[in-house]
Amino acid sequence: MSSNGREAPFRLGCAEIDPASREVSFGGRRERIQDKPLCVLLLLHRRLGQVVTRDDIVDQCWDGRIVGDDVINRAVSILRKLAGRAGGFRIETIPRAGYRLIEVDSAAAPGRARRTWGIMVAAAILAGVAVGMFATSRRPTASAVTVSILPVTSAGGPDARHLADRLGGVLSTALTEAGVQVVPAGRSPWTVSGAVTGEAGTMRVDMAVILRSGRKTLMTRVFESPRSRAQNLDLQVATAFAETMSVMGPLLALDGRDADPVIAARMFMALDAALQGNALRAYEITLRTSREHPDSISTQMALAITSGATLESFSVPERREHVRIAREILEHRKQYAPRFPDYGHAWCLLRPRSWLADCERQLRATLDDEVPGNSSAQRLSELTADVGRIEEAAMLARVAAARHAHSADDIGVLLQLLETEGRHREAEAVFADAVRKWPSSWALRWNRIVGLAARGDFASLERFAATIPRSDFTFDAEVLQSVLTAYRRGDRAGMIRLCTQDNLRGSTRQLCIAALAAIGELNTSFAIARDLYPNQVGRTRAEDEAMWLEQPAYFTVALLSANAGAPLRRDPRFVQLAEQIGLLRYWRTGKLPDFCTRGRPEPVCAKLKPAG
């Protein structure tokens, strides 16, 4: 077996692999991979595009020792999850042969683009596509969106056959609940196909969306689970496809010029990249497609939205140009598609984050529109949580979750607000149901962590964080656990040391702000907050824009406005912090937070009211 440490670093898709340190870098994050999965990855990479047999893997990575199939399956599963997070490559199973590493058409590495932006932009991308189709065809979608489901095939024993038998019915039910009409084969231009394979210790489901005309495959997706945990695999597959098809529904219902199979396939690719958290990949797809199809309204809309979600990845001059072009696209297309459901969200993406009141007006303008893809309730829920109107935010989160029951992002925001309000038991029930559908969803876990931190419930946060596998963390897992342990022990010095380390992720620093404030360590808490939330408010609107383009990164400020921020709000420095991130300007429009309008107003509220 060759030594991993002697391999030179290399690039694979959107990831940088350093065998010597066992580190994988992508999207501004760094992970360490276990030795055996790394060995398998190196072997597959050396034979990129070729089939590598299981025997080869055993010989090279386990020195020819007798190894069960479940061990190899586990290593490959780890690598496939890595591929999903990083983007740009995948591992194919070749039945009765082995595995093959494929490097897919990959854009530049995602830089600092965060998974949050990827998820947020996913629905908006296809909402843009849908409205582009509407504008081009000049007719509404009078008939229901339809799709056909081919019988799910199976191979690999009775368990696979039983899963295939269940999957067809569960998928049909989920699609129907998502507003997609399932019709017999041949009666819809769009077909969903599926195949279940039972390998030793693993159940695998391969799904595809096929354009009947020309039999063109628009999207493929692979789902895997150990046999011991495959009881909900049918539900997981059905939920994922219901989310995709409900977002893509308006596109699939139209057969005009823009229903070009190439454009449709590209938009499926963009959606898939965004759902994987790779917003920059989605941007590159829409940019290329818009250049190849300059008269396509749908791709122009998608380009405008993805431009706003990926600003961090570009230089300041590039950001300025991207924003200019995106705004022109958005305003021009709005003339032809006044019911573009996510216009408010797109408008906010392309403006300074400190323009809270302006963004709220845009979101409220489309809040009640019964248009597919409308995410205004969710976006407005996040904004009202930031400005401290928790009760209203929770109400909006419930509306969004009811509208989009097949969206992990919407359920995640609901979880955050339930925990923020102290509805811990309800959050437990919602989370237990959600993880049956999305067992590896970071949106569910992260939003719940933020909600517990915003509430100041660090005991529950520590217990919950301990249940999350290290591989699923998108921030500094060991630091977080150590901070929570130090908090429980009353170790102030330990917390300060941990929270002031260099190169901590922004998500970790957010939680440090709340935890340090809870123990009265306000100097360190404010110091971290001033660094994480730089000044975004200038003397003029033009200065606001310049500051934003210099530092477009955004982290939620909900922790400052919720229960956990109370110790900070009792300090005179809070008003200055609120001013530099736009909260003070928003509150002085008369829209005060709950801590000023619910119960006894906090002392700081006297400084937040409008002048005069």
Entry pTM: 0.76
Last residue of one domain, picked from the residues 189, 224, 253? 253
Statement: residue 93 has pLDDT above 90 = no
pLDDT digits (tens, 9 = 90+) for 480-532: 999 999 999 999 999 999 999 988 888 899 999 999 999 999 999 999 999 99
Angle of the 573-580 helix axis to the 522-532 helix axis, nearest 10: 10
Last residue of one domain, picked from the residues 295, 315, 350? 350
Same domain, 287 and 241: no
* Spatial contact of 109 and 15, defined as CB atoms under 8 Å apart: yes
Same domain, 154 and 166: yes
**What CATH number does the domain containing 216 carry?**
3.40.50.10070
pLDDT digits (tens, 9 = 90+) for 71-83: 888 888 889 888 8
Torsion angle defined by CA atoms of residues 124, 130, 134 and 140, in that order, rounded to the nearest 10 degrees: -110
Non-local (6+) Cβ contacts of 363 within 8 A are 344, 345, 348, 376, 379, 380, 383
Residue 281 burial (CB < 10 Å; 0-12/13-18/19+)? buried
Q: Which of 275-284, 486-495, 551-560 is predicted with the least confidence, judged by mean pLDDT?
A: 275-284
DSSP 53-115: EHHHHHHHHSTT----HHHHHHHHHHHHHHHHHH-SEEEEEETTTEEEEEE----S--TT--H
Residue 271 domain-assigned (yes or no)? yes
Statement: residue 337 has pLDDT above 60 = no
Same domain, 285 and 214: no
Same domain, 217 and 298: no
pLDDT at 612: 60
Residue 154 domain-assigned (yes or no)? yes
Same domain, 213 and 266: no
Same domain, 77 and 122: no
Same domain, 233 and 269: no
Residue 506 burial (CB < 10 Å; 0-12/13-18/19+)? middle
Number of structural domains in the chain: 3
Same domain, 173 and 123: no
pLDDT at 370: 60
* Spatial contact of 427 and 397, defined as CB atoms under 8 Å apart: no
**What CATH number does the domain containing 36 carry?**
1.10.10.10
Residue 428 domain-assigned (yes or no)? no
Helix (H, G, I), strand (E, B) or coil at 153: strand
Residue 354 to residue 548: CA distance in whole angstroms:
8
Q: Which of 235-249, 438-452, 474-488, 578-592 is predicted with the least confidence, judged by mean pLDDT?
A: 235-249
Torsion angle defined by CA atoms of residues 14, 85, 121 and 285, in that order, rounded to the nearest 10 degrees: 30
Read off the pLDDT band of 252 (50, 70, 90). very low
Same domain, 133 and 279: yes
Same domain, 209 and 298: no
pLDDT at 474: 61
Residue 363 to residue 341: CA distance in whole angstroms:
10
Last residue of one domain, picked from the residues 195, 220, 253? 253
pLDDT at 81: 81
Question: Whole domain around residue 135: which residue ranges?
Answer: 113-141+260-350
Residue 26 to residue 17: CA distance in whole angstroms:
9
Q: DSSP assignment, residue 539?
A: S
Residue 163 to residue 153: CA distance in whole angstroms:
10
Same domain, 152 and 187: yes
